[in-house]
Amino acid sequence: MTPPIRLTSTSLAHCPSSLHGPGYNPSAYGVGMVHLGIGAFHRAHQAEFTNRVLAKYGGDWRSVGVSLRSGAVRDQLSPQDGLYTLAVKNGVVTAYSVIGSVADVLVAPENPQAVVELLSDEKIKIVTLTITEKGYCQDPSTNRLNLSHPFIQHDLANLNHPKSALGFLVAALKVRFQTHQQPLTIISCDNLPSNGRVLEALLLQFAENTDPALARWIKDNIAFPETMVDRIVPATLVEDRAEFTNATNLIDEGLVKGEPFSQWLIEDKFATPHPEWQHVGVQFVADVQPYEEAKLRMLNGSHSALAYLGYLAGYTFIHETMANPDFNGFADHLMRREAAPSLTPPKELDLEFYAGELKARYENAALQHKTHQIAMDGSQKLPQRLLGIIRHNLKNDLSYTACCLAVAAWMRYVMGTDEQGKPIDVQDPLAEKFKKIALQNGNDPQKLVASYLAVREVFTEDMQHQTAFREKLVLCLGQLLTDGSKKTVADFMQKRKP
Ligand code: NAI
Ligand code: CS2
């Protein structure tokens, strides 16, 4: 066999039948969108839906991805003419398809001006974002812009070379306002509740601080549809790339992987034309909020619970955690008995069925989704995933013990040492603060819970002073510290009311 060669538009022409090409000639179509935060998820989700549109209808809807931090994705995709493979793993076989909808990648810290120029170009109709929850620089205690965030402070003073996503958007909108005044649709695709409204409010606040006339123009001309995005896209492992090379004799440094399930709901509120996403599986709806809340609590809530408890129990992957019947039952209980009763789902969303579907998705062993990956940035995730359920259920006298155990597992995790005494690489903007709390309070669950509950970036004041919640947390954390995660979950399953 000849040695493997890099995936490019030339090598693609001779690709084996195990690899589906994009189904169109990418260079025939121009750019109409920009994506901020070109990580794995965008490439396996929004870019794939656009790829389907281009294959079916064509159009100048390719996108330029922008990396706001490192040049890694640019280095992966540029030598491949922007092409990369999506590996869809259904548990038994892997289907490989090449995506051609990403035309180029810019690295913002290397050339911020080029990014502002691109975003302000008239041909750009839509900007999408996946910049992680923390990328929005929101102050969780007020839900307003975090004016003490170093990037926001920098950008308010130096809008000509921004660093934050918001800074880039406002800098470009200012140019658009001062020149051609063409509208824009900006679509947040992050797992944030009311992602469109949140982004709009933060951007307007930033713009107000820059130029009130600009803020008024943004309000009147820019649309911020809400979205619900769903596809499990674990970080690519070295093994995934090696498997691809074995199957195709090609090298793809930009390969991403995902499950077969993929869903995108967008609020039907555009200021511009858009790709014909509605004909390739994207659902345009009048109100995304009930779907979004159901997804964040049922899926992301149980995912985070499995991540913290599973990691502490020594499981590397979600499917391994799910293979333990106690953890499997625990996830089921959290979804059906605690998350579902906290929701008002749309008529067509059957939460019992949804819970079953989610469990099957978590059990997909081919995905190799690390508990450590989901555990990341818990301070940014807990409120919308677990605390909303707890707040609702406390108020309505419904059960919330499984969610409480999940929050206690998060506390145990961010203490920074695992059950064997080995350090945990806690990746969170507040990691240092959490570690300090652990050092100051030893293994005293009462003191630990009191200190973690006082972290205003995560818990609101009313929750901090909820006696029943606090006492439950102390019991859960105490048991996690003495018995460990496996025994605590097993006990929970034994004692829970059927
Ligand atoms: P990733 O780690 O592959 O990429 C993250 C991207 O966000 C990178 O481009 C990174 O540079 C950027 N980023 C990180 N911190 C930032 C900051 N402070 N400011 C601006 N940009 C920042 O992660 P992935 O898988 O692409 O996920 C990104 C987001 O997409 C998630 O946080 C979530 O909100 C959303 N999402 C992810 C899903 C998944 O299964 N991976 C599914 C549904 C939504
Ligand atoms: C996960 C999500 O990393 C995480 O926090 O819970 O990214 C999850 O994979 C997606 O929301 C699924 O759509």
Residues with CB under 6 A from ligand 1: 37-42, 67-69, 130-135, 165, 190-191, 229, 231-233
Residue 141 has pLDDT above 90, yes or no: no
Express each pLDDT in 328-375 by its tens digit: 999 999 999 999 999 999 999 999 999 999 999 999 999 999 999 999
Q: Which of 285, 310, 339 is the last residue of a domain?
A: 285
Examine the domain organization and report whether 64 and 179 are in the same domain: yes
Angle, helices 467-483/485-495, rounded to nearest 10 degrees: 130
Looking up residue 232, the CATH number of its domain turns out to be 3.40.50.720
Nearest-CA neighbor of 375 among 410, 400, 415? 410
Q: Please state whether 94 falls in left (phi above 0), alpha (psi between -120 and 50) or beta.
A: beta
Residues 66 and 152 in one domain: yes
Q: Which atom of ligand 1 is nearest to the CA of 134?
A: 18
Q: Which atom of ligand 1 is nearest to the CA of 230?
A: 43
Q: 416's torsion region: left (phi>0), alpha (psi -120 to 50) or beta?
A: left
Tell how far the Cα of 434 is from the centroid of ligand 2, in angstroms: 23
Query: Is residue 227 over pLDDT 80?
Result: yes
What is the mean predicted confidence (pLDDT) over 199-222? Answer: 98
pLDDT tens for residues 166-186?
Answer: 999 999 999 999 999 999 999
Ligand 2 pocket, residue 374 CB under 6 Å: yes
- Check whether residue 272 and residue 306 sit in a common domain: no
Instruction: Tell whether 267 and 400 lie within a shared domain.
Output: no
Å from CA of 357 to ligand 1 middle: 24
pLDDT, averaged across the chain? 97
Minimum-distance ligand 2 atom for the alpha carbon of 231? 13
Residue 89 reports pLDDT greater than 90:
yes
Do 294 and 280 lie in one domain? The reply is no
Best residue for ligand 1 mutational test, from 49, 74, 131, 261 (most atoms within 8 Å of Cβ): 131
pLDDT of residue 92: 87
Give yes or no: residues 205 and 352 share one domain. no
In 363-443, which ranges are continuous DSSP H helix? 371-375, 378-382, 388-395, 401-414, 431-441
- Output the residue whose Cα is nearest ligand 1's atom 17: 135
Q: Is the CB of 130 under 6 A from ligand 2?
A: no
Report how far residue 57's alpha carbon sits from residue 276's, in angstroms, rounded to the nearest whole number.
Answer: 8
Same domain, 209 and 325: no
Q: Which of 285, 305, 321 is the last residue of a domain?
A: 285
User: pLDDT value at position 91?
Assistant: 87
- 400 Cα to the center of ligand 2, angstroms: 22
Tell which of 285, 306, 330 closes a domain.
285
Confirm or reject: Cβ of 76 under 6 Å from ligand 2: no
Q: What is the mean pLDDT of residues 440-450?
A: 97
Query: Is pLDDT at 15 greater than 90 in this prediction?
Result: no
Tell me, what CATH number does 310's domain have? 1.10.1040.10
Tokens of 316: 């590397």
Number of neighbours of residue 355 by Cβ within 10 angstroms: 22
Q: Report the pLDDT averaged over residues 232-254.
A: 97
Task: Specify the pLDDT at position 498.
Answer: 67
Range of the domain at 226: 5-285
Q: Let me know whether 269 and 318 are in one domain.
A: no
Query: Same domain for 170 and 314?
Result: no
Residue 300 Cβ inside 6 Å of ligand 2? The answer reads yes
Mean pLDDT (whole number) for 388-402: 98
What global pTM score does this model have? 0.98
**Ligand 2 in reach of 45 Cβ (< 6 A):** no
315 and 212 belong to one structural domain: no
Q: Is 364 in the pocket of ligand 2 (CB under 6 A)?
A: no
pLDDT at 250: 95
Look at strands 102-107 and 144-145 and give their pairing.
unpaired
Do 324 and 217 have their domain in common?
A: no
Same domain, 53 and 158: yes
Q: What's the total number of domains in the chain?
A: 2
